[in-house]
Amino acid sequence: MTQNAIDLGTFITWEHGENYPFSACMKKLMEVLGADQGLYTYGFFAGLSGDDFIMCYGNNGLYNDCVSVCEDAETFLARTFGRIGLRYELASPAQWKRDPEALKKKLQSFIDRGVPVLVKGAMGKGMNFDLAFAYEENGEVFSVTCGDPKHNQTCRLAESGSAFIFIDSLPQIEDIAQVYRESMLQIPQLMRARTAAGVDFGANAYRRWADDLENGRYESLIPEEFESWGDWCVFVCNLATNARHGADFLARAYVYNPDMPGILRFLALLDRNEDLWRELERLGTGLNVTLEALQNPDTRRKTVETIRRFIPLNQQMERELTQRRDGVN
């Protein structure tokens, strides 16, 4: 029997393009803590983190969904929360496994007070974020949600490799315009980044995606080995989400920083990613992909050519914002 649980309900809306649980979890956590819900929206955190703007690709056995998933947790949190003055305590697996009893007590304390705990890496091959909202067996077992109760899971702490992020105070933002400005100016660096886990961002993500397909990543697979989501669809979902989301954050960034005209150009270029998504769907290598399609020589060739056409587009998006850095920072 669950000793204590917080009723968080549903707080992610997939059909509205809310495909990055980090942002949904942060929106809900801010709501629980009494923050301004007009500011701390899903879109605010999706832009703050870079998730809504950066293409990701990796072949490392994990689900490489977005920046918040792929980037090292310590690096990601310091960069993202540092920009808004949000205090947090990160308990990495290497840290809390030295004293699991202390972690259990802290986890129980937060949940008993009605404050969920941000967790990264609770779901198998996914390194996504969730909220821990319940515990059993004196903290030996905890439950997490990404905002959709259908995907809630219960995890045994002793078997967990999760990182726990404790937050119980609100951000301290001194200059909201600067928050949006810095969030835009981080994009070029992120587009050129590669994580320690071997995930590329931006133009290099498209390049490696096409190269791996052309060079036989899927050639020797049999249907029983092919996992459509982790092996392919996650990348299509990433580019499709970023083509149709993030406009609100970009609009607010421009309102606060009208001296950065590159923002509007960036938005126009980002929208063109939808062309790639539509073309992949037409070729049969979109969200309903089959292994047969990826192994078909003609379909593979056309898909590789299509993906490569978007490498210059992403390079242009990077340049548009890089040009605005001169005289700004």
For residue 32, give both structure tokens: 């629980």
96-100-105 Cα angle (round to 5): 105
Average confidence (pLDDT) per 10 residues, the chain, 329 residues: 82 94 98 97 98 95 93 96 98 96 97 97 85 95 96 94 97 97 94 94 96 96 94 95 90 92 84 91 97 97 96 87 57
3-class SS of residue 150: helix
**CATH superfamily, region 4-166:** Cysteine proteinases (3.90.70.10)
Q: Which long-range contacts (CB under 8 A, 24 or more apart) does 280-283 make?
A: 280/236, 280/306
- Residue 107 CA to residue 127 CA, distance in Å, equals 20
- Residue 50 CA to residue 186 CA, distance in Å, equals 8
277 class by beta-carbon count within 10 Å (0-12 exposed, 13-18 middle, 19+ buried): buried
- Residue 200 CA to residue 105 CA, distance in Å, equals 38
Q: Quote the percentage of the chain above a pLDDT of 70.
A: 97
What are the DSSP E strand ranges found in 172-328?
Answer: 200-201
pLDDT digit string, tens, across residues 287-321: 999 999 999 999 999 999 999 999 998 888 888 88
23 φ, ψ (degrees, to nearest 5): -70, -40
- Residue 273 CA to residue 191 CA, distance in Å, equals 15
The pLDDT of residue 328: 44
Domain ranges of the chain: 4-166, 176-322
Q: Are 165 and 88 in contact (CB under 8 A)?
A: yes
Task: Name the nearest CA neighbour of 252 among 111, 104, 47.
Answer: 47
For residue 187, give both structure tokens: 């994009």
Residue showing tokens 């020589």: 297
Predicted TM-score (pTM) of the model is 0.94
What are the DSSP E strand ranges found in 197-297?
Answer: 200-201
pLDDT digit string, tens, across residues 256-290: 999 887 888 888 888 888 899 999 999 999 999 99
